[in-house]
Amino acid sequence: MFFETKDPVTLQGDIAAAISKDAGATWQQLGVVLDEKWHLSYPYVFSYENKTYMVPESSKKGNLRLYYAVDFPFNWKLEKVLMERPLVDSVVINFQGSYWLLGSDISSYGSKQRGELCIWYSSSPLGPWNPHKQNPAHNNKDNRPSARNGGRPFIYNGNLYRIGKDRGAESGYNIQVFKVEVLTANQYKEVAVSFDLEKPFKGRNAWNGARSHHLDIQQHPLGQLWIGVMDGDRVPLGDSVHRLTVGYMFYGVASISVLLLGVLIGAIKCILPLRWYLPHTEKRSDTLKTEKQVFLCHKFSSLICNVNKLGSLIGGRINYRGRKGRVYIAVILLILVVLTCFGTHFIFGGNGAEESYPVKGRYSQFTLLTMTYDARLWNLKMFVEHYSKCASVREIVVVWNKGRPPSLGELKSMVPVRIRIENKNTLNNRFNIDKEIKTKAVMELDDDIMMTCDDLERGFKVWREHPDRIVGYYPRLAEGRPLEYRNERYARQQGGYNIILTGAAFMDHELAFKRYWSEEAEIGRQIVDSFFNCEDVLLNFLFANESSTSTVENLWEFDFQEVL
């Protein structure tokens, strides 16, 4: 799979590649395979006469270039310039005995916004290319979907289908599929067809909660199976109103600091001419109104005089040419940078793990498991409704320990919910082996703990980097002779911990549950039943006995203090 990747510093696009060895379930990134001095995107790859070619979008260079693979997929060399036009989102397809090049020419004014579709044809993908008589063959002057390509065209039952981007922002907000009814050197006609895609129920937290603008579907060469890859942008997680409010507050403080710095170094003079605020002297029939205007202007003039005096008083207080003054300015500038960065993070940033992506080949979703009973049904309803919206939650499993279980209709959820009814009220049920769990990762979470989706996603990201450990939010320390169980404050003071409470922890359920129900842990499970407590201590000891390395990870070690 080839895709655009951006340099985090320059934001210039390059072409990268990834490979999947399990039919697309997981992907291994191979890195950047094509890097030019200008922006690249939309890598369109095809084969011709036993060679593999790529046509990336390179409109910043002002032309359309064709590359061929010297060492597939890592090394590409320029074959030729196909066209001296700044085409965007171009595709090349062989249909009815001819090669067709479809792209959007942005050389004319306003064409990028209109999203015009232009067509060329040739007997070879290497050219020469002849313009279609109908160019631009399709535009967006009315309210029809965008003419810009949104992926690879495909042939199904002898018919050609083109993928376009729905009208919206620069890259569109959705995908539209068109059936090409007529394609000749003189004529082009297409009609929109229905495109059924299962819509996620997580709203703004879904993988395409903001938009989708690229679809690539191909038929597998060994059968009737079709494989599709679709992109999506997700809105940053968290309360958007809160994020915007805090972000703009940081921007506001930064702006005020800039003005204050300008006043202090004398670059901004608080001298406002009084004549700007004197009343007009034309005749007016309404004498009372004129008197009020004169009175208000007099008051405002007094205010301006005071501002001018203040400006004269504090202006030029920092001698920026001196050593001390330069230190002051450097400190203020550093504060401005920090404020701007914080503001940008809250407005444009997410949690660092908005995308559900695999780490080291691990799957990118987890099962949320909680244990409860009938007296806490109201807690469970809030729990399910809130956490079902989190991006990487695939399923919620409710371990029902006591009383009449609720019906699924009583729980409002964006993901599947499964209620597992237990025969005995015991804390050991939390770690019962469950073959119906479809993910490797399980998040054990008490039903009275409410954290943001951001914090949940961050914890999952850390677990994917340490899948052999218990990764959680609440540390404890057991030490001394005799062994004494210490709380979180003590663990922080000592700068270490060796137990993670499993009431809020990620783990590999196959590994953890198997250890918990081993023969060696039988006595420990009996103690848990007798005290109705300490199941998390038992699981931590079982992990520690199986490994000579670190077995637990606490999120405050990764600068997640706000989680605790």
Other CB atoms within 10 A of residue 424 CB: 9
- Kindly name the residue from 374, 508, 536, 559 that is annotated as catalytic: 536
SS3 annotation, 107-130:
CCCCHHHHCCEEEEEECCCCCCCE
- Among left, alpha and beta (phi > 0; psi -120 to 50; other), residue 133 is alpha
Helix (H, G, I), strand (E, B) or coil at 436: coil
Contact assessment for residue 315 and residue 269, using Cβ atoms and an 8 Å cutoff: yes
Is 536 assigned a catalytic role? Answer: yes
185, with CB counted inside 10 A (0-12, 13-18, 19+), is middle
- Report how far residue 128's alpha carbon sits from residue 549's, in angstroms, rounded to the nearest whole number: 64
Q: Which two tokens stand for residue 32?
A: 């950047």
- Report how far residue 84's alpha carbon sits from residue 93's, in angstroms, rounded to the nearest whole number: 20
Across 199-254, where does the E strand assignment appear? Answer: 215-219, 226-230
Contact assessment for residue 238 and residue 259, using Cβ atoms and an 8 Å cutoff: no
User: Would strands 366-372 and 441-445 be described as parallel, antiparallel, or unpaired?
Assistant: parallel
Amino acid in the structure at residue 9:
V
- Report how far residue 17's alpha carbon sits from residue 29's, in angstroms, rounded to the nearest whole number: 6
Q: Which two tokens stand for residue 319?
A: 């001698």
Question: For residue 201, what is the enclosing H or E element?
Answer: none
Residue with tokens 């590999």: 508
CA distances from 426 to 4, 513, 532 (A): 52, 15, 7
Q: Which residues are catalytic?
A: 536
